[in-house]
């Protein structure tokens, strides 16, 4: 595949090659960074009519797009596999997820965008009608990663479009092709010119930030900091969904087969290239051996390769594979053991076999740095308290999972974990819960995607309108009143405001 780095200047047209086979997947025309401002200006102009359609009008256009996605799912997945080297199992999840999100957003967007009334804080303010209106930010810049180039390209764009914004999408320079197909589908389904795609690396991403009214970035923590710094120059709001090192805790009363199945799927799905993948496991010593044996059994049954009949595919590039290799080699050199895999797969493509590591600890990068590869480090712990302490001993805080037959106990553990979401007796499932916010703590991000109507409103500005119910009382504290009248007004305000604190203090 065309391999570029965020610092590489791109121009002209390049051939995109599959990281699994080296076959040509397609061609991409790189956007000149100087053109991005004009593209954003065109979106900003078209956005005004899109906003005027109202939520119901926008819902019709988005429903047609959902139908197009369903009808062209096979075409999208073929291109997705060609440019990423995914297995069919990996690729099959992305379009259905988008259709699910669209279906939900279509249902709630009218409610999300409707003005809200707010009560008066004190009885004396009941003479006012308070309403909050949600006004879309004209252009939302979406900078998407390469690991899910279909889902991550649109899962945030859907909320922005529902809010009445225009969307300026910059896909990863490593996976540019599917974004073009998604844009073509928007146009083919009758969508207006409020969705544009620009292609490139760092310079184009910077131009997107400089030309947008809101920035949604998904990617590494290091790059996220740079996005935040650049957006801050213009006081442009942003939301960052960044890296993770998600822990799993397996209690002594867990369903071991279920936990093992979940750990293997959560670690190996998409070759481990998932922000909320299982990257480290802490198992109570009473069930450690049984859990490890079940994990090895499941891993040995996996089939690695691109396309049909395989469980997971290639890593996106040799650079990504090198990180996985380093983490495994360093761990083994420090005393860990690889029970499966452990070395790069021979032959063509950036494949790395599923690798189970034991004898690991927090002195090893495989337990502290984001791997983003098909590895599963497992650590024995003496107590749940130790598991919680180790799970929280990380600069990351995206999500986690807890396995126990006692759901109440699992919830007690969950609320002690420093992360944005915890799955109980499951992994990754919070991604499907669009009514819940998905956001990271610490270096895993700022803000959240999804969260019900908040996933739409995040792309809006709030405008409060305070209107009179009656003219009685208006101007009570204006300068034209006598000093005696102002003193009476201030005294009344103080007494009324103190009424509740006095009652509460008794």
Cβ proximity of 222 and 369 under 8 Å: no
String of DSSP letters for 458-498: TTEEEEEEEEES-STTTTTTSTTS-HHHHHHHHHHHHHHHH
Other CB atoms closer than 10 Å to residue 346's CB: what's the count? Answer: 6
Question: Phi/psi at 225 (nearest 5 deg)?
Answer: -60, -40
| Cα 248 to Cα 295: distance, rounded to the nearest angstrom | 13
Q: How many CB atoms lie within 10 A of CB 283?
A: 28
Reduce the DSSP state of residue 69 to 3 states and report it: helix
- Residues 385, 389: Cα–Cα separation, whole Å: 6
> Who's near 184: CB < 8 A, 6+ residues apart?
none
Kind and range of the H or E element at 43? helix 36-52
Whether the Cβ atoms of residue 53 and residue 46 lie closer than 8 Å to each other: no
Catalytic residue ranges = 241, 275
Contact 249, 285 (CB under 8 A): no
Euclidean distance between CA atoms 318 and 406, whole angstroms: 43
Task: In whole angstroms, give the CA distance from residue 190 to residue 149.
Answer: 23
395 phi and psi angles, rounded to 5 deg = -75, -10
CB of 203 closer than 8 Å to CB of 9:
yes
Distance, in Å, from the CA atom of 73 to the CA atom of 352, rounded to the nearest integer, reads 28
Cα dihedral 263→264→270→275 (10° resolution): 20
What gap in Å lies between CA 350 and CA 344, rounded to an integer?
8
Tokens read off for 382:
């003496």
Pairing of strands 128-136, 116-118: antiparallel
């Amino acid at each position: 595949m065309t391999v570029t780095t965020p610092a590489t200047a791109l121009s002209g047209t390049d051939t995109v090659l599959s990281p699994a086979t080296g076959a040509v997947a397609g061609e991409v025309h790189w956007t000149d960074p100087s053109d991005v401002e004009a593209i954003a200006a065109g979106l900003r102009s078209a956005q005004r009519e899109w906003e005027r359609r109202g939520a119901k009008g926008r819902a019709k256009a988005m429903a047609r797009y959902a139908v197009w996605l369903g009808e062209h799912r096979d075409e999208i997945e073929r291109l997705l596999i060609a440019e990423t080297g995914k297995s069919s199992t990996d690729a099959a999840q992305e379009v259905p997820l988008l259709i699910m999100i669209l279906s939900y957003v279509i249902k709630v967007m009218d409610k999300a965008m409707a003005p809200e009334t707010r009560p008066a804080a004190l009885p004396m303010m009941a003479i006012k009608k308070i309403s909050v209106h949600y006004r879309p930010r004209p252009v939302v810049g979406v900078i998407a990663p390469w690991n899910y180039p279909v889902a991550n390209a649109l899962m945030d764009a859907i909320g922005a479009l529902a809010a009445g914004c225009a969307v300026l999408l910059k896909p990863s320079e490593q996976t540019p092709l599917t974004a073009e197909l998604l844009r073509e589908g928007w146009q083919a389904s009758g969508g207006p010119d409020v969705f544009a795609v620009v292609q490139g690396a760092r310079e184009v991403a910077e131009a997107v930030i400089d030309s947008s009214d809101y920035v949604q970035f998904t990617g590494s923590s290091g790059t996220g900091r740079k996005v935040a710094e650049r957006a801050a120059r213009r006081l442009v709001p942003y939301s960052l969904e960044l890296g993770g090192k998600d822990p799993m805790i397996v209690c002594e009363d867990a369903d071991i087969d279920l936990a093992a199945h979940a750990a293997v799927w959560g670690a190996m799905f998409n070759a481990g290239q998932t922000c909320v993948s299982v990257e480290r496991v802490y198992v109570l010593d009473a069930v450690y051996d049984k859990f490890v044996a079940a994990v090895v059994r499941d891993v040995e049954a996996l089939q690695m390769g691109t396309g049909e009949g395989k469980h997971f595919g290639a890593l996106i590039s040799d650079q990504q594979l090198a990180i996985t290799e380093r983490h495994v080699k360093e761990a083994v050199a420090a005393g860990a053991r690889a029970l499966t895999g452990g070395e790069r797969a021979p032959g063509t493509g950036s494949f790395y076999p599923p690798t189970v590591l034991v004898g690991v600890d927090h002195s090893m990068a495989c337990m502290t740095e984001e791997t983003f590869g098909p590895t599963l480090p497992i650590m024995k712990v003496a107590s749940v308290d130790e598991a919680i302490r180790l799970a929280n001993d990380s600069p990351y805080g995206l999500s986690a999972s807890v396995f126990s037959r006692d759901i109440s106990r699992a919830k007690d553990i969950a609320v002690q974990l420093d992360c944005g979401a915890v799955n109980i007796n499951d992994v990754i499932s919070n991604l499907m819960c669009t009514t819940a916010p998905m956001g990271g703590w610490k270096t895993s991000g700022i803000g959240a995607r999804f969260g019900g109507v908040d996933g739409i409103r995040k792309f809006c500005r709030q405008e409060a309108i305070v209107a009179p119910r009656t003219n009685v009382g208006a101007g009570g504290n204006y300068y034209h009143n006598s000093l005696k009248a102002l003193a009476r007004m201030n005294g009344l305000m103080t007494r009324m405001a103190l009424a509740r604190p006095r009652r509460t203090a008794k």
